């Protein structure tokens, strides 16, 4: 499967979404809960691609909402493995916002998610073989 560095590099995960009115709040900005849901999803995919094991979210680190994400923008979620333990890994996620009709792109939300690999009995298992 390659070196640890190669596995980390190959597991980096990107998801793009358009922010539609159905995902916004009464301020016409992306619901914070929707942003967290998307972040956990991309982090889960990254952790799974890294380990090729069943993983579950065990904690989140600080999530920083730096700027509201208005309807009518595009977002890219980028997840990267930042540390690996015996049975767990930590994933950093950034949400980048892009204007649809300009080159403006900025980081608007960042946070970390920790996952543990589990066996068929849902007990922690080594994340790497």
Nearest alpha-carbon partner for 92 in 107, 106, 103, 102: 107
Torsion, CA 98, CA 100, CA 103, CA 105, rounded to 10: 0
Q: Which two tokens stand for residue 60?
A: 């989140």
> Mean pLDDT across the stretch 17-42?
96
pLDDT in tens, 62-74: 999 999 999 999 9
pLDDT in tens, 1-16: 689 999 999 999 999 9
**How far apart, in Å, do the first and last CA atoms of the chain sit?**
10
Chain centroid offset of residue 2 CA:
23
Whole-number pLDDT of residue 1: 65
């Amino acid at each position: 499967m390659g070196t640890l560095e190669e596995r980390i590099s190959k597991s980096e995960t990107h998801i793009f979404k358009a922010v539609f009115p159905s995902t916004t709040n009464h301020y016409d900005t992306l619901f914070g809960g929707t942003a967290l849901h998307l972040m956990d999803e991309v982090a889960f995919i990254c952790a799974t691609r890294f380990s090729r094991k069943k993983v579950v979210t065990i904690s989140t680190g600080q999530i920083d909402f730096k700027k509201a994400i208005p309807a009518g923008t595009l977002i890219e979620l980028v997840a990267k493995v930042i540390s690996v333990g015996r049975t767990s890994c930590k994933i950093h996620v950034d949400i980048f916002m892009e204007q649809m009709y300009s080159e403006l792109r900025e980081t608007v939300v960042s946070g970390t998610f920790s996952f543990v690999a589990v066996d068929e009995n849902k007990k922690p298992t080594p994340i790497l073989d």
